[in-house]
Amino acid sequence: MTVGILGLGLIGGSFAKAYSKAGHKVLASNRTRSTLEFAMLSGDVSGELTDDNIGGCDLLLLCVYPGACVSFLREKGSLIGSKPIVIDTCGTKRAVVEACMPIAREKGFTFVGGHPMAGTQYSGFKYSKANMFTGAPMVIVPPDFNDIALLSKIKELLEPAGFGKLTVTTAEKHDKMIAFTSQLAHVVSNAYVKSPSVREHKGISAGSYKDMTRVAWLNPEMWAELFLDNADNLSAELSGLIAELQKYKDAIDNGDRDGLVELLREGKRMKEEADGR
């Protein structure tokens, strides 16, 4: 198959490497020309994605920020045609789906919301890898949940990436859950390292510190856009967390050992139940 990729960052680069390794033709476009040239030189990309060849792709992956996805489809939508299945990879879905579905209907191509649930705290093509998505879930928001033929086609097109599971859901449910499973963790991690103690942790920290701070090393521009796209859900999660933290602080300030034990026991129990242990 021929795969077109817009954006050769961590996600786009990993898709390029996965499809190239599987023997498929990869065409790509990237804001920084030197990155595209390096990807072509390394053999991970076969050639440049252009106005002339975009309509010949079987799959078009939009691996850029939400606003850039919308702008691209508004500008290039009439060139895509009916052959490619267009899937975005943005971390929020409502804003992208609400803007891109109407463009797709107007221009005559098929748009599917998508979010690969994989990545690292690093960004850029140099950190991308062919096995990034191996075994990971891929969230899909289709235009028609009853179109079994389309869902089968999507599964076939994404197979070379190695996803372990395709999760079909609505944009609303995705954004509500992602506020908890991803965005809240990034906010907490980023705020956690603002303690003055962070400058003195070396030699007195281990796994807990590493786990808690891994995603503090993030892409500020991208995550700010994602947070604001999902502001209502993320704000609700933050309010809930702040309220829970206040309970711990009150118990500690008051020397309430029994209350603190109960809070810790409750959290442990909820973790066990959530993870099926």
pLDDT tens per residue across span 77-118: 999 999 999 999 999 999 999 999 999 999 999 999 999 999
Q: Are 255 and 181 part of one and the same domain?
A: yes
CA atoms within 13 A on the CB side of 216: 15
Cβ-proximal residues to 264 (8 Å cutoff; 6+ apart), any chain: none
pLDDT at residue 277 is higher than 90: no
| The pLDDT value given to residue 275 | 87
Measured CA to CA, the distance from residue 110 to residue 80 in angstroms comes to 9
- Tens-digit pLDDT profile for residues 154-208: 999 999 999 999 999 999 999 999 999 999 999 999 999 999 999 989 888 889 9
pLDDT mean over 242-260: 98
CATH number for position 202? 1.10.3660.10
Q: Which domain holds residue 103?
A: 2-169
Burial class for 72, CB neighbours closer than 10 Å (0-12, 13-18, 19+): buried
The total number of structural domains that make up the chain: 2
Verify that 138 and 189 share a domain, yes or no. no
Helix axes 231-253, 220-229, angle to 10 degrees: 100
Element containing residue 162 per DSSP (H, E): none
Dump pLDDT digits (tens) for 236-246: 999 999 999 99
Both 26 and 80 in one domain: the answer is yes
Same domain, 124 and 149: yes
Q: Determine the Cα angle at 21 with ends 158 and 4, to 5°.
A: 50
Mean pLDDT, the chain, as a whole number? Answer: 96
**DSSP structural state of residue 127:** G
* φ, ψ for residue 254, nearest 5 deg: -90, 0
Tens-place pLDDT, residues 27-55: 999 999 999 999 999 999 999 999 999 99
Of the residues 146, 169, 192, the one at which a domain ends:
169
- Say whether both 158 and 199 belong to one domain: no
CB 15 within 8 A of CB 118: no
SS3 225: helix
Q: What's the pTM?
A: 0.90
pLDDT of residue 276 exceeding 80 = no
Residue 73 has pLDDT above 80, yes or no: yes
Confidence of residue 21 (pLDDT cuts 50, 70, 90): very high
Model pLDDT, residue 6: 98
| Domain CATH code at residue 103 | 3.40.50.720
